[in-house]
Amino acid sequence: MSLNTQTLKLGVIGTGAIGRDHIRRCSQTLLNSTVVAVTDINLQQAAQVVAELGLTAEVYPDGHALINAPEVDAVLVTSWGPSHEEFVLAAIKAGKPVFCEKPLAVTAAGCRAIVDAEVAYGKRLVQVGFMRPYDEGYRALKAVIDSGQIGEPLMLHCAHRNPRVGENYKTDMAITDTLIHELDVLRWLLDDDYVSVQVVFPRKTSKALAHLRDPQIVLLETVKGTRIDVEVFVNCQYGYDIQCEVVGETGIAKLPEPSQVQLRSEAKLSNAILMDWKDRFIGAYDVELQAFIDAVRAGSVGGPSAWDGFAAAVAADACIEAQQSGAIVKVELPERPRFYG
Ligand SMILES: NC(=O)c1ccc[n+]([C@@H]2O[C@H](COP(=O)([O-])OP(=O)(O)OC[C@H]3O[C@@H](n4cnc5c(N)ncnc54)[C@H](O)[C@@H]3O)[C@@H](O)[C@H]2O)c1
Ligand SMILES: O[C@H]1[C@H](O)[C@@H](O)[C@H](O)[C@@H](O)[C@H]1O
């Protein structure tokens, strides 16, 4: 039976920060979906989210029981990064569409296993939660680049700043958890791939915990020769700040700031800076998940693919090697299977 006329019944694995937020949006904001199943290694927390959001969803003992539950049409994976690979592979095995938060897997080998499983299944089932291509600002920036108005892009200056991170955040997560967004969105923005990476460490901020090297600067080179610098600074204190400036042959295009009320008060002219990714990309999260729901109901899956997750992870692996060696490391992306267009 086609799902087209039915409400899509979702199961969500991981009820932490983004899991809870996606459960809220799928059950309260978006059209044609309902959350019928949830799980978390912290079952009490999962039950609490169900109660707080007033859902009738069942709490399953683990991700595998949820994936295989007949009432679950499609799966959202919002647990910690290292658990994604296992759940996405299980969803493919069960033939169920799966939206997986970034990273698709924490290594390129893990992403490749997912790509191979999806290709063997013969139909796209996986959408990766790279939301930036759905952000209005990035879409406007891409439209300017694609129009040719600034000529060919030569250089990009980017920054990915978080106010602070928790104790569990390690130096390699600056790549796998944070930079991974740029590794995806910049491929999409430039319609290009990476050939080499280097990571340099400026003076360390006193605001970072002892085990964390912060900030970091990642230097990327693309196949077309564009050079990109990305500052990753996850204890910047002052706000959640995403910057992207594209220097072209005849002009410069900059990612717009999120719209905020301009305030004149106490002898100051000011614009607030957002503090949280949840607010900065709220529109993009809504659009990406509605796209997933609509596509699954129509019998397909689109958006950032397992191949995109793999391509970002190949570059991420090279960045981690570059963090450790200080050298310029080659990015070797295998040929894309025809399956991914
Ligand atoms: N797209 C974005 O902008 C964005 C934003 C935030 C988080 N994320 C991604 O979402 C994922 C979750 O991040 P978060 O900030 O919500 O983290 P979090 O720590 O707040 O929540 C993760 C939850 O997953 C649960 N969990 C871990 N392993 C599990 C397992 N095997 N089975 C079931 N539950 C398990 C944990 O108990 C926790 O409740 C990460 O991969 C992160 O990178 C993406
Ligand atoms: O999981 C989060 C999320 O992906 C945010 O978008 C990013 O800015 C953070 O650095 C990361 O830790």
pLDDT in tens, 242-292: 999 999 999 999 999 999 899 999 999 999 999 999 999 999 999 999 999
Structural contact between residues 186 and 156, judged by C-beta atoms closer than 8 angstroms: yes
In the predicted model, residues of the chain with pLDDT beneath 50 are: 1
Token code pair at residue 179: 């930079």
Query: Any idea how long the chain is?
Result: 341
136-275 CATH fold = Dihydrodipicolinate Reductase; domain 2 (3.30.360)
**pLDDT of the residue at 81:** 94
Q: Which residue owns the Cα nearest ligand 2 atom 6? A: 277
Any idea which ligand is nearest the CA of 159?
2
DSSP letter at 154 equals E
The per-residue DSSP string of 105-153 comes to: -SSHHHHHHHHHHHHHHTS--EEEE--GGGSHHHHHHHHHHHHTTT-SE
Cα 23 to averaged position of ligand 1 atoms, centre (Å): 13
Question: Which residue puts its alpha carbon closest to atom 8 of ligand 2?
Answer: 178
CATH number of 8-132+282-306: 3.40.50.720
Q: Say yes or no: do domains 8-132+282-306 and 136-275 share a fold.
A: no
pTM value? 0.96
What are the extents of the domains in the chain? 8-132+282-306, 136-275
Would you state the structure tokens that stand for residue 188, as one six-digit string?
């999409």
CB within 6 Å of ligand 2 — which residues? 162, 177-178, 181, 234, 277
- Find the 93 Cα to ligand 1 centroid distance in Å: 22
- Closest to 35 in 3D by CA, of 44, 105, 102, 21: 21
Q: What does the DSSP assignment read for 239-267? A: --EEEEEEEESS-EEEPPPPP--EEEETT
Instruction: Give, for ligand 2, the residue of 181, 276, 278, 285 to mutate: max count of ligand atoms closer than 8 Å to Cβ.
Output: 181
pLDDT of residue 15: 98
